[in-house]
Amino acid sequence: YGGPHAEVNCINSVAEVNRHLISSSTLYVSLEPCAHFGKTPPCADLIIEKNIPKVVVACHDSFAQVNGCGIQKLRNAGIEVVENIMEKAAINLNKRFFHFHRYQKPYVTLKWAQTADGFVAGENFQALPISNAYTNRWVHKMRASEMAIMIGTNTAIHDAPSLTTRHWVGRNPVRVVIDKQLQLNKEADLFNEAATTIILNEVKEARDGHLHYFKINKEEHLLPQLLQLLFQKNINSLIVEGGPALLQSFVEEGLWNEAYIITNEALFLRSGVKAASLPADKFISSWHMAGDKIVYYNNLPSPSETNIT
């Protein structure tokens, strides 16, 4: 957040020997160029400055400070603008951004792995490997697409996760963990310097390097407080990989946008910790990945915000 936009990176990537070609090029963008001063200068101004004669825009930016202004600014400068090329695909690509600005909260994805008979762990939360190596890499690819990742206290204790993208090339998301009484071991991988970690607790509000302590109001529901905090921090997406209690809370409060359930169809546990559940009418599709079954659910407020099939 706050770094150069795609238009800037694209133009800057042109080798010096080829920069004379910019003024005779066509620029393709998935989202309307911005026309306002925010964390960075307007991209529309840069396009005009570089004398780019034609811009192909996949979809409008619904953000109030843009919303057609970027396109109009380009046209006023004599630039040819072609609109709505592959619009549905572009809306899906930018769904986190659109949802964040429209609803003032992050786009929430739920994910868990379960056995064929619907368990996520053994008795007393005993951790066990469920998904295969290929699916694990796919999950880490998902993580690299999200700005934050969340678990609860039990998952932190029993799974000892690091919540990084170590099996995929990409940035580590901001980690969010519930630790109401600050009982978790701060020497655990979850708290290393691989990523900023937000600790939701009832004890203190503080910052210790990459550890950010956010004191929650125990008289209010936790999840709305969390989503408001992430909105204030300009974190536009969250993937939740916690235990069934945390996941079910998101489901019951209607605070989720899509969900992926990974099922090892060859593994039966018979007893243990039961998985969360999702409304059957939110089912969209399913497929297999090297033996694991993946089921996709969608709970978007508006069908126009996604084009997943």
**Annotated active-site positions, please?**
7
The residues, ordered by sequence, that sit 6+ positions from 307 with a Cβ below 8 Å of its Cβ are 88, 89, 91, 92
| Beta-ladder partners of 150 | 176, 240
Q: Please name the helix (run of DSSP H) or strand (run of DSSP E) that holds residue 183, with its range, or none.
A: none
Q: Output the six-digit token pair for 239.
A: 């993937």
According to DSSP, the β-strands at 206-208 and 211-215 are antiparallel
**What distance lies between CA 28 and its chain's CA centroid?**
24
User: Kindly report the CA angle at 207 between 203 and 210, in degrees rounded to 5?
Assistant: 125
Q: Which has the closest alpha carbon to 122: 249, 20, 274, 280? A: 274
Rg of the chain taking only CA atoms, in angstroms: 22
Q: Which has the closest alpha carbon to 108: 270, 273, 258, 294? A: 258
- Per the listing, tokens 């979850």 go with 190
| Beta-ladder partners of 286 | 295
